[in-house]
Amino acid sequence: MYDIIVIGGGPAGLTAAIYARRAARSVLVLEALVCGGQIINTPDIENYPVEAHLAGYDFATRVEAQARGLGAEIVFERAVEVHDEGGVKVVVTEKGRYEGRAVILAVGSRNRKLGLPEEDELVGRGVSYCATCDGAFYRKKTVAVVGGGNTALEDALYLADLVDKVFLVHRRDAFRAEEATVARLREKPNVEFVLNAVPVRLVAEQNLLAIEVKDVKDGSVRTLEVSGLFVAVGRTPETAAFRDLVALDAAGCVVAGEDCHTSAPGVFVAGDCRVKPLRQLVTATADGAMAATEAVKFVQSAAP
């Protein structure tokens, strides 16, 4: 029996573990893959307080070590169900089951796909969702990045230093990314902005050869000859396993306010899987601190 079970070992979940352990509560972190979440794919974190430049992998390993050093137990298993048994939360994984007095959902999100035919088949043969993972395979080649947020523009910046040319395809004529990032990208001579356009077809013969993009205003179609396509059009919260446990919004995000309370007593949420206007590293760690603090209060109030 654990005081608090944290589902997800990203920045939100590990921060929650740190705060819960500092409150002298027993903590189990369940992580399906590797600790760190999507931040491990960020080559350079520039907007986190204290340190101006820090690799995402380094951040992830440091926060994991901090949580372990404080006594948090980390188990690499995927949680598939959570239910309440008379005040005890039972978390079922693909390998077993664990009991806790409170649960924090910090499951993050997964890459959203374009939904084009052959997209899945071309993963690893031209289609990628991680520029820092796969960018090196496209040195001296031409690639395209699809998206208009921070991730897409950061991917384009990273790739511009590796490849001959980058097409940045975005469905609007303005970006959601930070203006400083947009300005840096405009200075890159090998980056071409393809705005008001959406990908409609992947052209391939075993490997990707080109993408067809459609102008959303006049309907014209343009073919971009590329060897790689990096998709950065957002993420989908990993909450499907918990839709019968807590209230979700239409996008699948857990409904909760700044106190991180969900619709289920004793179940809290933190990070990108929560309904929120801003999803950044700093907001994920803030959520983790809040969720853990509230979970500790819940465990204390439920104590005999």
DSSP 133-194: HHGGGGTTSEEEEE--SHHHHHHHHHHHTTSSEEEEEESSSS-SS-HHHHHHHHT-TTEEEE
Do 99 and 16 lie in one domain? The reply is yes
The single residue of 58, 133, 244, 249 carrying the catalytic annotation is 133
Do 188 and 176 lie in one domain? The reply is yes
260 is catalytic: no
The single residue of 134, 155, 272, 287 carrying the catalytic annotation is 134
What's the domain range around 22? 2-110+235-302
- Alpha-carbon span 7 to 22, nearest angstrom: 18
- Alpha-carbon span 212 to 200, nearest angstrom: 6
The answer to the question of residue 38 being in a domain is yes
Predicted pLDDT at 131: 86
pLDDT < 50 stretches in the chain? none
Do 240 and 100 lie in one domain? The reply is yes
- Alpha-carbon span 40 to 215, nearest angstrom: 34
Residue 45, CB-side half-sphere exposure with 13 Å CA sphere: 18
Do 94 and 243 lie in one domain? The reply is yes
The count of residues in the chain is 304
The answer to the question of residue 121 being in a domain is no
8 A C-beta contact, residue 4 and residue 103: yes
Predicted pLDDT at 52: 81
Do 86 and 142 lie in one domain? The reply is no
Question: 206: phi > 0 → left, psi -120 to 50 → alpha, else beta; which?
Answer: left
Report the predicted TM-score, pTM, of the whole model to 2 decimal places.
Answer: 0.78
Do 37 and 56 lie in one domain? The reply is yes
The answer to the question of residue 298 being in a domain is yes
Predicted pLDDT at 124: 85
Do 67 and 99 lie in one domain? The reply is yes
Q: Say if strands 165-170 and 191-195 run parallel, antiparallel, or are unpaired.
A: parallel
Chosen domain end from 177, 212, 231: 231
The answer to the question of residue 120 being in a domain is no
Do 22 and 71 lie in one domain? The reply is yes
Do 68 and 136 lie in one domain? The reply is no
130 is catalytic: yes
Do 6 and 29 lie in one domain? The reply is yes
Chosen domain end from 231, 259, 283: 231
Predicted pLDDT at 293: 98
Predicted pLDDT at 42: 76
8 A C-beta contact, residue 163 and residue 220: no
The answer to the question of residue 118 being in a domain is no
- Alpha-carbon span 289 to 65, nearest angstrom: 17
Do 86 and 159 lie in one domain? The reply is no
Predicted pLDDT at 40: 84
8 A C-beta contact, residue 160 and residue 186: no
Number of domains in the chain: 2
The answer to the question of residue 44 being in a domain is yes
The answer to the question of residue 210 being in a domain is yes
- Residue 89 dihedral angles phi and psi, to the nearest 5°: -90, 125
The answer to the question of residue 117 being in a domain is no
CATH code of the domain in which 276 resides: 3.50.50.60
- According to DSSP, the residues that pair with 192 across neighbouring strands are 167
Chosen domain end from 214, 231, 248: 231
Instruction: Outline where the chain has alpha helix (H).
Output: 11-22, 56-69, 131-134, 150-160, 179-186, 281-302
